[in-house]
Amino acid sequence: MSINLILELIGYLGSALVIVSMLMTSVVKLRIINTIGSVIFCAYALAIHSYPTAAMQVCLIIINIINLYKLNNTKKQYSAVNVSSTDGFLYYFLCANERDIKKFFPDFSTTEKDDTIFMITCGQAPAGVFIAKDKGDGSFTVKLDYTTPAYRDCSAGKFIYNHLKLIGVRKVYAETNNPAHQKYLQKLGFSTDRDSNNFVKIL
């Protein structure tokens, strides 16, 4: 394999990563993959002596690093708003995100009158929704614990479970066969319940 072909493949790899980064729904993943692609493409540009292209990639790398720093060091201020099952904005939010919700909660269909429902906001922006059944013994069974892609870094989840603890909930049960959701639950401190093979978290 010739050096020129290797350099071309490196250039294609860098370009492909930059393109793939634009498909990411998570801003953090977008920045990380875009930075990796820019680093590879910068190396390619230097190797073929295309210095203007290399300079542009360096600028993009710096911009990505600055934005990643801001994203990781800006504390999100969440609030939990208790709403009813007939709340108009709740209905709109569930409909607007229905397709994404079905990826993680395929069995979720609708809210019920006795559900405990919290809309999670970040500042003034809606970040997610938490819906659960109160079992009446200080424990909840989760029906829906959904956050929009922009807030899918576990911070909203940590907030809502801490909020549940503050209002007197002592145990939360969750059931899922989705690997991504199982990973999320494990990050939040859920463990497998031996009696039901579901997940449980002691608050």
Residue range 145-191, pLDDT digits in tens:
999 988 888 889 999 999 999 999 999 999 888 888 888 999 999 98
What is the C-alpha separation between 130 and 87, in angstroms, rounded?
14
Residue 149: per-residue pLDDT: 87
What is the C-alpha separation between 114 and 121, in angstroms, rounded?
22
Residue 12: per-residue pLDDT: 84
Query: Which CATH number is 79-202's, of 3.40.630.30, 3.40.190.10, 3.40.50.1820, 3.40.50.300?
Result: 3.40.630.30
> What does the pLDDT average to over 79-89?
94
CB of 101 closer than 8 Å to CB of 94: yes
3-state secondary structure of 142: strand
CB of 199 closer than 8 Å to CB of 191: yes
Domain residue spans in the chain?
3-73, 79-202
Kindly report the pTM of this predicted structure: 0.69
Closest Cα to residue 78, out of 135, 186, 157?
A: 157
Could you say which DSSP state residue 20 is in?
H
In tens, the pLDDT along 106-116 reads: 889 889 999 99
